[in-house]
């Protein structure tokens, strides 16, 4: 049976568990699976963009509600300035007492993006980031995971379900299927990223 909705996913999990007494916790298994896939996957299909208009003297800005992780950050202009990611500790060490200037790098602190240096003028900052799909629910029957990666989502849900019922053999079986599927997904995503590029080899 094809899995295309949240309701169908719940039915598929129930069928594979061969139990009818877990309906109240199946949503928890699915939520666990979604969180796991959010942690482990950085795919082209999860990329999104945002633009921040930063103001002179203000170093920190809110990120989109669905933000999960940075892919790249740059300052618009000619030429574009690509900003370097800095850990909070490195940023504080290098720029903690510096005067305002055109930003060189950025960091993630308390769920906000911090620019270093503190901007000395207004700049347009472009962000490419990995987004968190809206969680599945009765009111939200589909998202990226269930539309594009239904097998991985099912397997991850079954890992959580098997752990809950303390079936170690099933945990191992579903975990193996999940990891194999994730490896295939990542490999395919990398191939897609490079499929349109032309490698140039310079000899001599």
Rounded Cα distance between 103 and 87, Å, is 15
Q: Give the pLDDT score at 204.
A: 34
3-state secondary structure of 18: coil
Domain ranges for the chain, please list them.
6-41+149-189, 45-131
pLDDT digit string (tens) for 101-111? Answer: 999 999 999 99
Q: Give the pLDDT score at 202.
A: 41
Residue 93 has pLDDT above 60, yes or no: yes
Q: What is the pTM of this model?
A: 0.86
Q: Token digits for 111? A: 């769920």
pLDDT digit string (tens) for 1-31? Answer: 689 999 999 999 999 999 989 999 999 999 9
CA max distance for the chain: 70
Residue 201 has pLDDT above 60, yes or no: no
- Bridge partners (DSSP) listed for residue 123: 54
pLDDT digit string (tens) for 125-150? Answer: 999 999 999 999 999 999 999 999 99
Query: Which pairs count as long-range contacts for 96-103, CB under 8 Å and 24+ apart, including other chains?
Result: 100/56, 100/57, 102/75, 103/54, 103/75
pLDDT, the chain, mean: 93
Rounded Cα distance between 88 and 86, Å, is 6
Residue 85 has pLDDT above 80, yes or no: yes
3-state secondary structure of 202: coil
């Amino acid at each position: 049976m094809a899995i295309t909705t949240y309701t169908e996913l719940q039915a598929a999990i129930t069928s594979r568990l061969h139990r009818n007494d877990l309906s109240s916790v199946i949503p928890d298994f699915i939520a666990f699976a979604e969180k796991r896939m959010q942690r482990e996957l950085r795919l082209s299909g999860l990329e999104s963009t945002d633009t921040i208009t930063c103001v002179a003297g203000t170093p920190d800005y809110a990120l989109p509600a669905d933000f999960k992780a940075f892919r790249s950050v740059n300052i618009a202009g000619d030429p574009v300035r690509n900003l370097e990611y800095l850990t909070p500790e490195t940023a504080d060490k290098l720029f903690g007492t510096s005067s305002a200037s055109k930003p060189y790098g950025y960091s993630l602190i308390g769920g906000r993006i911090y620019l270093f240096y503190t901007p000395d003028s207004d700049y347009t900052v472009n962000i490419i980031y990995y987004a968190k799909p809206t969680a599945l629910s009765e009111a939200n029957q589909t998202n990226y995971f269930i539309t594009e990666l239904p097998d991985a989502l099912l397997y991850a849900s079954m890992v959580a379900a098997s752990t809950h019922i303390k079936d170690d053999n099933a945990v191992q079986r579903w975990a193996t299927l999940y990891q194999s599927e994730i490896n295939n997904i990542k490999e395919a995503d990398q191939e897609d990223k490079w499929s349109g590029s032309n490698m140039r080899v310079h000899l001599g």
